[in-house]
């Protein structure tokens, strides 16, 4: 009986150690904000890319006047206050993997193709959008949300350069 209790307590301590380790890692991840480190984008170029990629066919952004002669029957509003989009990483994920989280408060059949996949995935925007356009569109949209945290810029962000006399900071 005593051996069973000892075995039980050892297992309990192991489980507790795993849970505490996971909590510590989550706390570190929360400080890192998004975990995505892309170059700084240009919001004005992002506004232009938003139009060029015809994002305004299905999305409304306050102050953005669409010139498209067509548009989706159900328009998804971007910007303002939100509880879902909180970080730079959330914005990037919403663009490159639109089915990751389907927008609430819209009829499911209006924003999905099969009840699961976002209609945005049908536009194949990932096949035509450049990384620079992605970075710029995210910068544009980030400026439209009230609660989105700016991207975390790590201290080792410097990249190698070919300029004489300029040396990048070493990574820790």
- Strand ranges for the chain from DSSP E: 59-61, 76-78
Contact 99, 116 (CB under 8 A): yes
**Over the stretch 72-129, which tens digit does the pLDDT of each residue have?**
777 888 888 876 777 778 888 888 888 777 777 778 888 888 878 888 887 788 889 9
Q: pLDDT tens digits, residue range 28-62?
A: 554 444 456 678 889 999 999 999 998 988 888 98
Q: Which listed CATH number (1.10.760, 2.40.128, 1.10.472, 3.40.30) goes with 43-142?
A: 1.10.760
SS (H, E, C) 77-116: EECECCCCCCCHHHHHHHHHCCCCCCCCCCCHHHHECCCC
Report the predicted TM-score, pTM, of the whole model to 2 decimal places: 0.64
């Amino acid at each position: 009986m005593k051996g069973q209790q000892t075995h039980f307590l050892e297992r309990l301590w192991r489980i507790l150690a795993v849970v505490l380790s996971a909590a510590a890692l989550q706390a570190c991840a929360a400080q890192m904000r998004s975990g995505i480190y892309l170059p700084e984008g240009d919001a004005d170029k992002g506004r232009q890319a938003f139009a060029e990629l015809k994002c305004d066919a299905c999305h409304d952004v306050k102050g953005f006047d669409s010139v498209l002669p067509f548009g989706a029957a159900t328009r998804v509003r971007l910007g303002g206050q939100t509880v879902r989009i909180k970080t730079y990483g959330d914005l990037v994920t919403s663009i490159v993997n639109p089915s990751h989280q389907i927008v609430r408060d819209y009829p499911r059949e209006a924003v999905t193709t099969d009840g699961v996949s976002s209609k945005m995935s049908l536009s194949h925007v990932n096949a035509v959008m450049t990384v620079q356009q992605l970075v710029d569109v995210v910068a544009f949209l980030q400026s439209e949300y009230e609660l989105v945290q700016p991207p975390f810029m790590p201290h080792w962000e410097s990249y190698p350069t070919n300029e004489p006399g300029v040396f990048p900071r070493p990574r820790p």
